[in-house]
Amino acid sequence: MQKITREQLIQKASELLENGTVSAVLGWGIGEFDYDVTPTVFSTVEELRNGFVFNDFCGANFSKYLVKKTDKIEGKILVFLKPCDTYSFNQLLTEHRFDREKVYAVGIPCEGMADIAKVKAISGDGIAAIGSNGDKLTVTTLYADEPVVIAANDVLAERCINCKSKKHVAYDELMGEEGEVIESNRFDEVARLEAMTADERFAFWQNELSRCIRCNACRDACPACTCEKCVFDNPNSGVENKSPANEFEEKLFHIIRAYHVAGRCTDCGECSRVCPQNIPLHLLNRKFIKDMNDFYGEYQAGAEVGSRAPLVDYTTEDLEPGEVFDRRENNA
């Protein structure tokens, strides 16, 4: 269902490698399964031909990798950025996390990525191969005789259903056509939870967060979590904690993580994509985004380089913490 093909991307990458514009390519590499795509650095055209993939499971946001990879590579690195990735790209530039001069960014269009959990829910386990054909996915499993054909739209990832922008906010070169910022309904789920009673919300989150196994995948994939040393890994922080000893620590971890990225999170949805327990972690971030939009005016992290996040800014007329709740009750 992607409009751009693997071959086009390989051709572009090969061109740039061969003419010396870049010395490496950050792209999606073959993983163990078709849906298990691994971020990979390619240095030669041959490596690209052998290992580069582009399919409906290439959700990984490469912006974050630039923080570490730009140091390791002489010359420029080519990075492919989907529209949502470009916001993270800008946000990291705002925070001076990598050297823009060392990156050659190619914006690529995105038609939305598939959620493997949704695929599995239809096809069943034991997926051997997934093919793409127009707007259909053909899923071959070990247990079924016939491949299952699924409409790509039915298995679209949540973050793509609620895609906030098809527009690239940063690139050196754009492949395909430029899209628009989209009026999405991405805050609907947050609003639905807000409308619940505190007890219902507590039960909801208790159910969700208690599944957390503290694998740190959310943190490791998050393009806003690029700290040199995370407080949760730092024995001197006083809150070091590597495994959840009880349910409070999961909450502490996720609240603090969401707070640390508040105002910096671009709502790319990587946290929820990589969560092996399918916890809707993006809702925590969206809650912060929604609140800050409500309280302090619309703000989209990464929309431009150098913008000032709401939590490191203020006006003398800001609403009081206590008024937050009055306001909600009045709106309800």
CA 51 – CA 75 distance, rounded (Å): 22
Q: Which long-range contacts (CB under 8 A, 24 or more apart) does 182-187 make?
A: 186/162, 186/267, 186/286, 187/286, 187/289, 187/290
Compute the least distance from the CB of residue 248 to another protein, in Å: 4
Of 138, 163, 142, 172, nearest to 152 (Cα)?
138
Q: How far is the CB of 259 from another protein (least distance, A)?
A: 5
For residue 314, the minimal CB distance to another protein (Å) is 4
3-state secondary structure of 20: coil
Task: Identify residues 167-226 at the interface with another protein (CB under 8 A).
Answer: 190, 193-194, 198-206, 226
Q: Which stretch binds another protein (CB under 8 A): 22-30, 135-143, 155-163, 227-235?
A: 227-235
- Window 54-73: residues binding another protein (CB under 8 A): 71
Pairing label, strands 24-29, 38-42: antiparallel
Q: Which of 134, 320, 331, 332 binds another protein (CB under 8 A)?
A: 320
- Binding-site member from 19, 96, 134, 298 for another protein (CB under 8 A): 96
Sign of the CA dihedral 219, 225, 228, 231? negative
Q: How many CB atoms lie within 10 A of CB 169?
A: 23
- Contact yes or no for 162/185 (Cβ under 8 A): yes
Q: What angle do CA 135, 140, 142 make, to 5 degrees?
A: 160
Q: Select 242 or 308, whichever has its Cβ closest to another protein.
A: 308
Reading the block at residue 181, the tokens are 């910022």
Give the residue, chosen from 12, 64, 97, 186, that forms a contact with another protein under the rule CB under 8 A: 97
Please choose, out of 6-14, 115-123, 151-159, 231-239, the segment that lies near another protein by the rule CB under 8 A. Answer: 231-239
C-alpha torsion angle, residues 200, 203, 205, 209 (rounded to 10):
180
Figure out which of the listed residues 261, 268, 275, 303 binds another protein, where binding follows CB under 8 A: 261
Neighbours of 131 (CB within 10 A): 13
Q: Spell out, one character per residue from 34 to 53, where the chain touches another protein: x when CB under 8 A holds, - when not.
A: --------------------
- Minimum gap (Å) between residue 224 Cβ and another protein: 8
What would the two tokens of residue 242 be? 């590597």
> Residue 218 or residue 292: which is nearer to another protein going by CB?
292
Query: Which backbone phi and psi does 276 adopt, to 5 degrees?
Result: -70, -15
Among 281, 287, 301, 303, binds another protein (CB under 8 A): 287
| Residue 326 interacting with another protein (CB under 8 A) | no
- Residue 19 in tokens: 């003419």
Contacting positions for another protein (CB under 8 A)? 71, 94-97, 190, 193-194, 198-206, 226-231, 234, 236-239, 245-246, 248-249, 251-252, 255-256, 258-262, 284, 287-288, 291-292, 295-296, 308-316, 318-325
